[in-house]
């Protein structure tokens, strides 16, 4: 099986990129042929090359809406797909999802789309939301199946009538496990808190720093991992709140797993999310999670069991939860162990791989059967149900 994965950005490395990288590597290990198409060059492209996964740069594929560049990106994708001739096109994130699905349909290649967070609700303005809902409904006509990464996202697509319910699947994000040496000691005191998030508006570092400013009387340290356009603003806020001696801004790091292992609490203060990989990384390492109750986070973080949740944009509620977790080493240990168990039962890479590859086979089997019967029998085919994963050899 040859699969073309398309993702918008290669100049950053977030959850969508980790998702594509892990699946492409697993496909290759099973005898398949993955090829990744991505916009630009950067950390993601470098990691693909390091792991010997073929990568094609789509020079004009950028995140902002830019009609001229978007048209050129579409042509680049179309030419690349015609040359690669994949059996299946798997698109990821909004821009790549739209252009890649149309290109796949033009070449009569079945397409699967994973949005990693629908751009149709609280992530954008109401006016933009109407435009993107219309575009997603249009793109749904060219889409064979859509993989939502949590139930929240699937329900959102249903409420917004993006496409028929039969096209909407749900497969939780999953991550490869780590050895015991890379699991944290959540009960250690004083605690080190950590956030792994790009410094962009939806991650809301301002609310987090506001909450931390009221906890100076407690013993803690904080690591901010990630870069982004708001880094200068975040640095100014750290100085303004007098947190220079408590907070480290570490920028983009390749040793995130080790940094999490050296921490006691994972924090995420986002105003909007789908189903963030970073929280699964923390649970995998047996860390409790203090986060905002947005998107599908509640499907991973069980309040009072694996972590604590607060409303988005509420520094007082976030501060209250941070105070509790900083002051209670035993609660940190208990919640961290419960989070580790939940990771093992729901969010391993093996589970995600099996469910995703089963869907690949379902799509290909249904498509092949449709082509075989079209000429001789116009009656509709029965739906093929996803079974267990099959090896590619």
Residues 225-265 pLDDT 10s: 999 999 999 999 999 999 999 999 999 898 999 999 999 99
Residues 304/326, Cβ–Cβ less than 8 Å: no
For residue 383, is pLDDT > 80? no
Task: Average the pLDDT over 128-151 and give the result.
Answer: 89
Amino acid 119: pLDDT: 78
CB atoms within 10 A of CB 134: 11
Residues 149-197 pLDDT 10s: 999 999 999 999 999 999 999 999 999 999 999 999 999 999 999 999 9
Amino acid 182: pLDDT: 97
Amino acid 122: pLDDT: 53
For residue 381, is pLDDT > 50? no
Amino acid 15: pLDDT: 86
Q: Could you tell me the pLDDT band of residue 130, with boundaries at 50, 70 and 90? A: confident
Q: How many alpha carbons fall within 13 Å on the CB side of residue 132?
A: 20
Domains and CATH numbers, the chain: 2-175+349-374 (3.40.50.2000), 180-346 (3.40.50.2000)
Residues 14-62 pLDDT 10s: 889 999 999 999 999 999 999 999 998 888 999 999 999 999 999 999 9
Could you give the angle at which helices 277-284 and 329-346 cross, rounded to 10 degrees? 110
Average pLDDT of every residue of the chain: 91
Among residues 319, 285, 317, 283, the alpha carbon closest in space to that of 302 is found at: 283
What pTM was estimated for this model as a whole? 0.86
Token pair in block for residue 290? 């203090």
First-residue to last-residue Cα distance in the chain: 9
Q: Which residues contact 55 (CB under 8 A, 6 or more apart)?
A: 10, 35, 36, 37, 38, 45, 48, 49
For residues 237 and 144, give the distance between their C-alpha atoms in angstroms, rounded to a whole number: 46
DSSP 326-385: HH-HHHHHHHHHHHHHHHHHH-BHHHHHHHHHHHHHHHHHHHHHHHHHHTT--SPPPPPP
For residues 270 and 240, give the distance between their C-alpha atoms in angstroms, rounded to a whole number: 21
Task: Average the pLDDT over 306-317 and give the result.
Answer: 98
């Amino acid at each position: 099986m040859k699969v073309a994965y398309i993702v918008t950005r290669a100049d950053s490395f977030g959850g969508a990129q980790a998702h594509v990288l892990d699946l492409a590597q697993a496909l290759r290990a099973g005898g398949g042929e993955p090829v990744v198409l991505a916009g630009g060059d950067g950390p993601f492209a470098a990691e693909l090359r390091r792991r010997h996964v073929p990568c094609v740069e789509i020079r004009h594929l950028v995140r902002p809406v830019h009609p001229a560049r978007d048209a050129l990106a579409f042509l680049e994708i179309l030419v690349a797909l015609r040359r690669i001739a994949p059996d299946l096109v798997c698109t990821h994130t909004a821009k790549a999802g739209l252009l890649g699905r149309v290109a796949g349909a033009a070449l009569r290649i079945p397409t699967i789309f994973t949005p990693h967070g629908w751009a149709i609700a609280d992530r954008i303005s109401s006016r933009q939301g109407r435009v993107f809902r219309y575009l997603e409904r249009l793109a749904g006509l060219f889409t064979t199946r859509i993989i939502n990464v949590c139930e929240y996202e699937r329900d959102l697509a249903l409420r917004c009538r993006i496409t028929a319910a039969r096209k909407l699947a749900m497969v939780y994000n999953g991550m490869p496990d780590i050895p015991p040496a890379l699991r944290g000691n959540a009960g250690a005191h004083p605690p080190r808190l950590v956030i792994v998030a790009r410094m962009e508006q939806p991650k809301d570092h301002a609310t987090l720093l506001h909450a931390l400013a009221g906890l100076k009387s407690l013993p803690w340290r904080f690591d901010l991992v990630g870069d982004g356009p708001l880094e200068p603003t975040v640095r100014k806020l750290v100085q303004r709140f007098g947190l220079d001696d408590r907070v480290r801004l570490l920028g983009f790091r390749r040793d995130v797993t080790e940094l999490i292992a050296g921490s006691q609490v994972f924090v995420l203060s986002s105003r909007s999310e789908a189903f963030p990989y970073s929280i699964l990384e923390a649970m995998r390492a047996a860390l409790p999670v203090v986060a905002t109750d947005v998107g599908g986070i509640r499907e991973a973080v069980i309040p009072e069991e694996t972590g604590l949740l607060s409303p988005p944009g509420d520094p007082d509620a976030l501060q209250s939860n941070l105070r509790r977790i900083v002051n209670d080493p035993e609660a940190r240990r208990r919640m961290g162990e419960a989070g580790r168990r939940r990771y093992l039962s729901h969010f391993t890479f093996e589970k995600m791989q099996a469910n995703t590859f089963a869907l690949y086979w379902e799509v290909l089997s249904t498509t092949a059967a449709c082509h075989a019967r079209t000429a001789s029998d116009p009656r509709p085919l029965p739906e093929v149900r996803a079974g267990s994963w099959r090896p590619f050899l």
